Amino acid sequence: MSFTFIHTADWQLGKQFANIADDPRVVLREQRIKAVESVAQLALERRADAILVCGDVFDSNAVTDRTIRQALNATELFKGDWVFIPGNHDPALVESAWSRAQNILDGRNLKADNLHFLLKPEEPLFLKNGTLAILPAVLERRHEVDDLTAWFDAYETPPGVIRVGMAHGSVPELLPNSEAPNPVALSRDETAKLDYLALGDWHGTHRISERTWYSGTPEPDRFTSKDPGNALVVSISRAGAIPTVEKVRLGRYEWREEEIEVYSGEDLENLELQITAVVPNPQDTLLKLKLSGVLDLALHDRLRNVLDDWEARLRYLNLENGLTPKPSQDDLDRIDLSGFVRTAAERLGAQATESDSSEAKSAQEALLRLYRLHVQMGN
Amino acid sequence: MHIRRIAVKNFRKLNDVEIGHLEKGLTVIVGENEEGKSTMLKALQAAFFERFNLSKKASTEMLPFGSIVRPEIEVDFEVNNATYHLNKCFRPSPSALLESNNQKWQNDAAEEKLREILGFTPPKQGATSSKHRGLSGLLWVEQGRAYSPLEFNPDTLSSIHEAIEGEIGQVTGGERGRKLLEAVELRFKENFTPKGREKQPLKEARAEVEALRADVHELENKLSQYEGKVDRLESLSEKLNRYEKENVLARAETEAEKAANAEKKLAETENKCETASAELEVAKKSLEITQGERSGRDVKIKQLEKLESEILEIEKLLERSEEERNEATQSHRLSEERLKNARKDSERTRREWIVAQRKLKRAETLSARDNLTERLDKAQSVQEKIDDFGKLAAAIPIDKRTMASLKKMDGDLAKKRAALEAIATTIEFLPREGRLVTVDNEVVDVADLYRIKERTSLDLEGFGELVVTPGGEDIRHSRAAVENLQSDLKSSLDTLGYSSIGEAEEDFRKKNELLIEIEISQSHLDGIVPEGLEELESNIKARRGELASLTVGEGEPSLSVETARELEERARSAEEESEKTRIQEERTVEAENKKLSAINEEWIESRTALQIKRRERESLEKDIKAGRASNSDEQLKEELRKAERQRDERERALNELEEQLDAMSPEFIRSERERTQEVLSNLKQQISKEQQQAHDIKIELRMIGQTGLGETLEEKRSEFTQAEQRLERKEKDASAWRLLKETLEEAERGAKETFIAPVKERLQPYMRYVLPHTSLNLNADSLAIDSLQRDGQEEPFQALSMGTREQIAVLARLALAEILLEDNKPVAIILDDPLVNSDDRRFKLMTAALRNAAKKMQILILTCHEQRYLTLGTTMVQLQDCYKD
């Protein structure tokens, strides 16, 4: 008897995106709920039996009831089984987002028998008339030192039953720092004879082995993730068979990070081309742009225009401007050939390149303003 | 510039003057007051700077007073090695001609050329002022203006700028620089106050960040409290689960039950002990009763024996008591007899003493009465005398007031009479021998003067009757007054019963003597009876009354006071003696009474005791007899032995039980029971408390959880981050503008310093020479003299003395002129009496400075103080020699 399910994780509902300006922030927050709906839609389309959500459904246990209700509402689209385990952001404490979700459900008249919150340690869930055993690793606190999947090894199921493990944590062997909390053994799928081990915590989609995968988050939420914005459609034909895993793109917003050096007018033109190349869809892109290099005042003024344009086009531009404005002879001549203004410009120029101190930064800013005033005043 | 020759015609007071051959260097033109030296300067200004076709109104001033002729000025001069001849005429026939090297410029062209070579801007219309005269505006100083601040017109300023920048290059920013700085200042002011303090927008942004920081902090606290509670709930749940898993409560219950059973067993043993103990008590009691019965009988026998001996004793006592009683009764009777006699004695002596007292009293009263009566007799005789005098005095009618009134009337009468006398007609009779004069048939003594006060008929013997009527109202009046007074006096005397005033006076004296007598007698009387007669009389009356009550026996002689007192004393001591004896006897009787009654009481008591004891003996004998009848002494002994045996048995049984109980360690069993009970109850309480706590926390967390603290905190953090970024941007912006402003201002200050340096450099040698150890502060923008720096103090130009002001203003002109000269600007200095306020020493130094400067440029000094310039050793031109006649 075959079994198809959607593997997803790290919805991080209720995340506030504190470092992002107001307008895009609101959109990003709303998009996280929409992502859940996309997952449900995918399950419908693929006629999946269940959706397995591997932790960090909520950004924290202290999310609002509204967020919890939105999450529960979003699941209504798919009537199949939803199986949830807690993550390090929403561990199964006595009082948690989960206990509150359960309360909300209890308070509703409609029974939601298809929602399974696996909150007790070492307690498996049997679905499909007992032909499918789901073994959960339940985080009861944010950080566990022990591998909570260890009990899978010893837990026996009747022959022919498909064994699927669910866990939220990292695989220490694959990390530079092997002392990561909430460890999951690299070979757990083998030692526990699992048909599939669904993992959560890493926001990018990642294959550990043919039976062990990180689905990643369905909607990207940071600049640093590798390959986020997907869900996995997993099919297992029978117990012991190799599962087929299909990565499906669901995410809407692209979070891009670019580092560009600028030293000349030519570089400035390249910069425009470069951004155009990596941002095909500016309205759905959040761009973190790290600029470095040295530009004279005239080019700096031009750069400003280019960046203002991009800021207007993109969903969000996060600019880390490490450029040093350095007045050229031409800049200075343009400001004034002689007289005290020229003297002042030269002094500021010297200060601006003297060191990396805050004084130098102030001098750079002062110079740029002087130049702009000069441009505004015309000749 | 070099002015070589000046010729002026018909210009104000200068009708025809020519100063030729003016040399380069210093020339002093001397002219006395009103001679036209200042007009000469005006003429030069007009020639160079006034338009030839100046309007009539403006040019009228140039005309000589009261005539309409053509003012004409000719000047030969040299500028930049070119020589010029200028001829300018004003209305009524204006013209202008400028010639140089065979070139001619006429009228407007001449004016144009002049502007070109001298660099000035004329006014659009009308006459010029110093601001239209280019460098001359600064370098040509009119009379009385040398101490004023330097005046720079735009042409002069621009010439000086050109000259300086020609030397040191362009340093100031010009108009563009100024505008740029203004724009920067504007942006600076948006963020800072003039003193550099932050303004509202920055402050607000900072306040917003701080407020949000506080909000975030508060939310973090709340969240951390929330999380603390979550942790607490976790640990509580874990603990409760552990209780359940480890059966903690059930274990405690089992233990408590075990301890309770042990205690129950203990209680049973204790009960047995108690029963045994009670039985023992019963046995003891029974033994006690038997013992009591036995000892009771023994006691009674002993009691009986004792009673027998007591009765014997009492009987003996009674016998002795009877004897004592008889003796005492006898002695008592004798004493009573003695007392009776003593009482009689006492009564008698008392009576005798009373009689003696009475006699004494009577003797004393009699004596007192006799004294009083004697005093009364004396007093009464004095009183009678007083009364007689009084009657006599009262019979005299006159008193002091009436007497005074009579005397006054008499005096007045005498006065009036004298007055009448004075005005009466005096008649002197000189009759022939023997002839008589009679008036009213009375012979008048003719030897005396005769005064006639009323119509009088004089009978002159031998002549007949002569009737004289004294004349005038006065005498009549006076006479009437005398008569009135006489009649008044007489009537007063009549009323009193006197015929003359002398009589009255005599009577009044007698009355006074009587009154004195009365007074003396009265004081005598007061001496005899100070208490008054009445008092004395009533006193005597009282004594008499007393005497009446003190009657003595008939025929008993009256005793003297002394004798009576002696008798009384004797009677009193006899009474005291017999009283003493009586008291003593009474005491004796009383003592014997007491003794007798004590003996009686004792006897009665012994008698009663004897009866009681006899009755007791009887009853005891009966009692003992009855006891022996029911239970013999042998039987009683046997019963006692039996009771002792039973008691011993029961004691043994109890001891055994108590040993058993000790072996059980009852304290331990009880404490164990208490401990396990407490453990169980504590455990139950704790579990229930922790369950309640967990429940409460759960509810609380659920309530807080709904508000989504985590989300709220993140949202607040986002607001905070953005506010911080905004503030950072604002601060960056503000500090950039501040830096830009400060850098620009500093550069501008430096530029100004640099710009002014060449002027200072030229000026310094002059200053050193004339005003050593000083320097001038010049304004780099306006070039005006701001102040003088002297001995570290800065003195504003306007605060300096006029002398110093004119000196430094001239020196500054020399320095500026040097710079201009080096830039080939048309420089010539004309000073109209410039040093009138300077003292001789400074004057000398100044002229030396001028001489030195004149090595490079032409300097013309116009003055009326020839003497002061004589020692200068330079060309002197006398204006009066320049007039053409």
Digit-coded pLDDT (tens) for B510-544: 988 888 989 998 888 888 888 888 888 888 888 88
pLDDT band at B470 (very low <50, low <70, confident <90, very high): confident
Nearest to A347 among B181, B702, B743 (CB): B743
For A44-57, b where at least 16 C-beta lie within 10 A, e where not — what string? eebebbbbbbbbbb
Burial of B776 (0-12, 13-18, 19+ CB in 10 A): buried
Question: Mean per-residue pLDDT for B719-726?
Answer: 90
Which positions in chain B touch A362 (Cβ < 8 Å)?
A: 732, 735-736, 739
By C-alpha distance, the chain B residue nearest A60 is: B710
User: pLDDT value at position A191?
Assistant: 96
Contact B134, B151 (CB under 8 A): no
User: pLDDT value at position A107?
Assistant: 87
* B859 Rama sector, left if φ>0, alpha if ψ -120 to 50, beta otherwise: beta
- Mean pLDDT for chain B overall: 88
Question: Mean per-residue pLDDT for A313-334?
Answer: 87
Nearest to B711 among A67, A365, A374 (CB): A67
Residue B9 structure tokens: 């015609």
Contact B694, B230 (CB under 8 A): no
Beta strand residue intervals within B91-249, DSSP E? 95-100, 103-106, 140-141
Query: Between B99 and B643, where is the model more confident?
Result: B99
Tokens 């999947």 belong to A149
**Residue B749 predicted with pLDDT over 90:** no
- Could you tell me if B177 lies within 8 Å of chain A, comparing CB atoms? yes
Query: Between A247 and B585, where is the model more confident?
Result: A247
Query: Between A52 and B380, where is the model more confident?
Result: A52
Please state, in angstroms and rounded to a whole number, the distance separating the CA atoms of residues B445 and B448: 6
Please state, in angstroms and rounded to a whole number, the distance separating the CA atoms of residues A62 and A148: 24
Please state, in angstroms and rounded to a whole number, the distance separating the CA atoms of residues B131 and B172: 24
User: pLDDT value at position A179?
Assistant: 67
Nearest to A95 among B184, B705, B732 (CB): B705
pLDDT band at A172 (very low <50, low <70, confident <90, very high): confident
- DSSP string of B139-169, one letter each residue: HEE-TT-TTSPP---HHHHHHHHHHHHHHH-
Can you give the residue ranges of every domain in chain A? 3-249, 254-377
Question: Mean per-residue pLDDT for B345-366?
Answer: 87
Q: Are strands A50-54 and A81-85 parallel, antiparallel or unpaired?
A: parallel
Q: Which residues have a Cβ under 8 Å from the Cβ of B279 and sit 6 or more positions away? A: B650, B653, B654
Question: Mean per-residue pLDDT for A132-144?
Answer: 93
Question: Mean per-residue pLDDT for B765-793?
Answer: 89
Which positions in chain A touch B746 (Cβ < 8 Å)?
A: 344
Interface mutation target, options A340, A347, A369, A377, chain B, most CBs of B under 10 Å: A340
Tell which B residues from 819 to 838 touch A, by Cβ distance under 8 Å.
Answer: none
Contact A34, A217 (CB under 8 A): no
Nearest to A340 among B177, B697, B709 (CB): B177
**Residue A219 predicted with pLDDT over 90:** yes
pLDDT band at B141 (very low <50, low <70, confident <90, very high): very high
Q: Which of B529, B523, B526, B518 has the alpha carbon at shortest distance from B386?
A: B518
B226/A94 Cβ within 8 A: no
Over residues B11-58, the pLDDT tens digits come to 988 889 999 889 889 999 998 888 888 999 999 999 999 999 888 887
**Residue B859 predicted with pLDDT over 80:** yes
Helix (H) or strand (E) holding A213: strand A212-214
Q: Which residues have a Cβ under 8 Å from the Cβ of B574 and sit 6 or more positions away? A: B349, B352, B353
For A122-159, b where at least 16 C-beta lie within 10 A, e where not — what string? eebbebeeebbbbbbbbbbebebeebbbbbbeeeebee
**Residue A186 predicted with pLDDT over 70:** yes
- Please report, rounded to a whole number, the percentage of residues in chain B having pLDDT higher than 90: 28
User: pLDDT value at position B419?
Assistant: 83
A63/B179 Cβ within 8 A: no
**Residue B885 predicted with pLDDT over 80:** no
- Could you tell me if B711 lies within 8 Å of chain A, comparing CB atoms? yes
Q: Other CB atoms closer than 10 Å to residue B346's CB: what's the count?
A: 21
Contact B56, B48 (CB under 8 A): no
**Residue B804 predicted with pLDDT over 70:** yes
Sign of the CA dihedral running B579, B584, B590, B596: negative
B694/A62 Cβ within 8 A: no
Tokens 């290099």 belong to A293
Question: Mean per-residue pLDDT for B232-257?
Answer: 90
Please state, in angstroms and rounded to a whole number, the distance separating the CA atoms of residues A134 and A126: 6
**Residue B477 predicted with pLDDT over 90:** no
User: pLDDT value at position B67?
Assistant: 79
Q: Are strands B456-460 and B437-439 parallel, antiparallel or unpaired?
A: antiparallel
**Residue B554 predicted with pLDDT over 60:** no
**Which CATH class, in words, describes the domain spanning A3-249?**
alpha beta
Interface mutation target, options A341, A346, A373, chain B, most CBs of B under 10 Å: A341
Least confident among A9-18, A125-134, B25-34, B412-421: B412-421
Tokens 């007083």 belong to B386
pLDDT band at B316 (very low <50, low <70, confident <90, very high): confident
| Cα B789–Cα B791–Cα B796 angle in degrees, nearest 5 | 35
Helix (H) or strand (E) holding B332: helix B248-395
Please state, in angstroms and rounded to a whole number, the distance separating the CA atoms of residues A48 and A42: 8
A62/B233 Cβ within 8 A: no
Angle between helices B709-770 and B802-822 (to 10 degrees): 100
Residue A198: phi, psi to the nearest 5? Answer: -90, 125
- Could you tell me if B697 lies within 8 Å of chain A, comparing CB atoms? yes
Contact B39, B12 (CB under 8 A): yes
Nearest to B748 among A94, A340, A348 (CB): A340
**Residue A333 predicted with pLDDT over 70:** yes
| B698 Cα to chain A: minimum distance (Å) | 6
Q: Are strands A196-200 and A212-214 parallel, antiparallel or unpaired?
A: parallel
Q: Which residues have a Cβ under 8 Å from the Cβ of B248 and sit 6 or more positions away? A: B242, B683
Over residues B424-461, the pLDDT tens digits come to 788 888 888 878 888 888 888 888 888 887 788 888 88
Tell which B residues from 141 to 170 touch A, by Cβ distance under 8 Å.
Answer: 169-170
